């Protein structure tokens, strides 16, 4: 996402939050309580404004906080075999060719931020920033306060609607209040539903100490295990629900709802207890069938073409007509007749193409020839004159459709004149004896 477009999206998001939060208080709740400050009004609105303030605070921290990048010239400690992950193919430390530097565990390259992000979860367009190691806690708290604040908002507006349900609503409230009630329902309900579903997924991932990218990896690993390609592998960063939450929100439960800095540096992570396998050997596991043999030495073929004659000899035509054409093509020379290397390939007998493999049985009922192994019927080519003759016969058999013309038999004189040679008739005509 571009810099200008990202700022526009952030501005629209802030505008939506502000509209839902303050239009409901100014145009719905305030007139409902008679436009006077009271204990009941403060009891209703103070908790709501505290939730909105925490929501905006955590949202702003998500936007401005650097998710964490890889320090310059950082290199993994390969001697201790800790604190680094390896490539699936070579077994060496993970290296980002775009950033031209090594990648710590759980770090990934973001094409939008154009750098590697520590413990990258995903790139969020609504905050115009990556959700990574240093702002993941702010993002979780932002989702939580959105869920609570929108629920509180819907309860307030619904109470206002139920308060006047038995009365004439247009007499009790003005048209402006009615319009804003409709607008608040239309804008708040979709946010409550979509963000709520999104929050459930991230809360579940938080309990398992899993990022969105690692969730995709776990799905792929589950597929490999289900297909029997690899044995069951434990996710190495799952420390238990309590410790998983502490790794993101801090160790003090009283401060989980307040913005805090996560512990650690994001370059090294604690492994699950009892896991005797190093992370580079256990996660993410590789598909043994998809890894090429690294010992194989690639050699170029002697010819730059896969098949010197241009045709794969193992390909077989699917129909009898194409097989027959293939047989004829086998006898075609690759050079013209005037070439010095031309050799007469010879031609197969045409009758041999109409063998029993192509046409086997004749179906008298349908009048066609049936080919062995075929699911349908293949009609032998018929002469056009024969087709026309059959068509005329079938049309002529319909009563009253055509009047058949039967020529009269020729007379004896005509028969005799027809038998007379043409030269004699011309001589007679010249002599004046010809009958006009």
- Residue 433 backbone phi and psi in degrees, to 5: -90, -10
- Token digits for 332? 């075609």
Any idea which of 124-133, 163-172, 186-195 has the lowest mean pLDDT?
A: 163-172
Confidence of residue 367 (pLDDT cuts 50, 70, 90): low
d(CA 107, CA 96): 10
- Residue 261 reports pLDDT greater than 50: yes
Mean pLDDT across the stretch 98-113? 90
d(CA 215, CA 395): 73
Catalytic residue among 96, 99, 113, 124: 124
Mean pLDDT across the stretch 119-136? 93
State pLDDT tens for residues 309-355. 555 555 555 666 666 665 666 555 555 665 566 666 654 444 444 44
Q: Which residue has the higher pLDDT, 2 or 198?
A: 198
Strands 95-96 and 101-102: antiparallel
In this prediction, residue 229 carries a pLDDT of 83
- Token digits for 196? 């709520």
In this prediction, residue 350 carries a pLDDT of 44
State pLDDT tens for residues 68-99. 999 988 888 766 655 556 555 455 678 888 88
Exposed / middle / buried, residue 5 (Cβ in 10 Å: 0-12, 13-18, 19+): exposed
SS3 304: coil
Whole-model pTM: value is: 0.64
- Residue 392 reports pLDDT greater than 90: no
Q: Which residue has the higher pLDDT, 282 or 299?
A: 299
- Token digits for 212? 């969105």
124 tagged catalytic: yes
d(CA 109, CA 278): 23
In this prediction, residue 13 carries a pLDDT of 95
Mean pLDDT across the stretch 117-136? 93
Confidence of residue 268 (pLDDT cuts 50, 70, 90): confident
* Residue 275 vs residues 43, 104, 210, 234, 237: alpha-carbon distances, Å: 51, 20, 17, 8, 10
In this prediction, residue 398 carries a pLDDT of 58
Please tell me which of 124-138, 253-267, 422-436 the model is most confident about, judged by mean pLDDT. 124-138
d(CA 436, CA 434): 6
d(CA 347, CA 369): 26
In this prediction, residue 156 carries a pLDDT of 94
Confidence of residue 50 (pLDDT cuts 50, 70, 90): very high
- Residue 75 backbone phi and psi in degrees, to 5: -135, 140
Confidence of residue 412 (pLDDT cuts 50, 70, 90): low
Q: Which residue has the higher pLDDT, 118 or 165?
A: 118
Confidence of residue 285 (pLDDT cuts 50, 70, 90): confident
State pLDDT tens for residues 22-45. 999 999 999 888 888 999 999 999
d(CA 154, CA 188): 7
Q: Which residue has the higher pLDDT, 398 or 125?
A: 125
Confidence of residue 406 (pLDDT cuts 50, 70, 90): low
Q: Are residues 314 and 112 in contact, defined by beta-carbon separation less than 8 angstroms?
A: no
- Token digits for 191? 């946010």
Strands 108-110 and 361-363: unpaired
Q: Are residues 128 and 6 in contact, defined by beta-carbon separation less than 8 angstroms?
A: yes
Mean pLDDT across the stretch 254-277? 80
Exposed / middle / buried, residue 208 (Cβ in 10 Å: 0-12, 13-18, 19+): middle
Mean pLDDT of the chain: 77
In this prediction, residue 335 carries a pLDDT of 56
């Amino acid at each position: 996402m571009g810099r200008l477009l990202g700022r526009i999206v952030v501005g629209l998001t802030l505008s939506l939050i502000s509209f839902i939060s303050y239009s409901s208080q100014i145009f719905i709740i305030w007139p409902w309580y008679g436009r006077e400050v009271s204990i009941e009004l403060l009891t209703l609105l103070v908790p709501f404004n505290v939730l909105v303030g925490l929501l905006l605070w955590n949202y702003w921290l998500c936007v401005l906080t650097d998710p964490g990048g890889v320090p310059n010239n950082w290199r993994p400690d390969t001697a201790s075999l800790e604190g680094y992950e390896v490539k699936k193919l070579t077994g060496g430390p993970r290296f980002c060719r775009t950033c031209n530097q090594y990648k710590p565990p759980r770090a990934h390259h973001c094409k939008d931020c154009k750098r590697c992000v520590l413990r990258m979860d995903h790139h969020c367009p609504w905050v115009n920033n990556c959700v990574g190691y240093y702002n993941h806690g702010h993002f979780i708290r932002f989702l939580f306060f959105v869920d609570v604040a929108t629920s509180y908002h819907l309860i307030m507006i619904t109470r206002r609607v139920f308060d006047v349900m038995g009365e004439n609503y247009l007499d009790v409230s003005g048209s402006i209040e009615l319009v804003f009630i409709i607008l608040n329902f239309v804008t708040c309900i979709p946010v409550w539903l979509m963000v709520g579903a999104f929050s459930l997924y991230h809360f579940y991932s938080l309990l398992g100490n899993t990022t969105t990218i690692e969730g995709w990896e776990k799905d792929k690993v589950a597929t490999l295990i289900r297909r029997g390609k690899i044995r069951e592998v434990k996710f190495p960063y799952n420390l238990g629900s309590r410790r998983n939450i502490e790794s993101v929100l801090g160790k003090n439960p009283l401060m989980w709802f307040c913005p805090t800095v996560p512990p650690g540096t994001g370059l090294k992570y604690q492994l699950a207890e009892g896991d005797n396998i190093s992370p580079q050997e256990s996660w993410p596991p590789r598909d043994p069938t998809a890894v090429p043999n690294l010992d194989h030495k690639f050699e170029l073929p002697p010819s730059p073409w896969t098949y010197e004659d241009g045709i794969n000899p193992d390909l077989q035509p699917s129909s009898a007509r194409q097989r027959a054409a293939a047989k004829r093509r086998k006898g075609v020379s690759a050079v013209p007749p005037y070439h010095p290397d031309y050799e007469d390939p010879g031609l197969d007998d045409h009758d041999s193409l109409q063998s029993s493999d192509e046409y086997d049985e004749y179906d008298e009922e349908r009048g066609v020839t049936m080919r062995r192994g075929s699911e349908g019927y293949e009609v032998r080519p018929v002469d056009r004159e024969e087709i026309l003759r059959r068509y005329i016969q079938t049309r002529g058999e319909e009563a009253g459709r055509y009047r058949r013309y039967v020529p009269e038999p020729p007379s004896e004189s005509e028969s005799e004149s027809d038998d007379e040679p043409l030269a004699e008739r011309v001589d007679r005509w010249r002599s004046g004896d010809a009958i006009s």
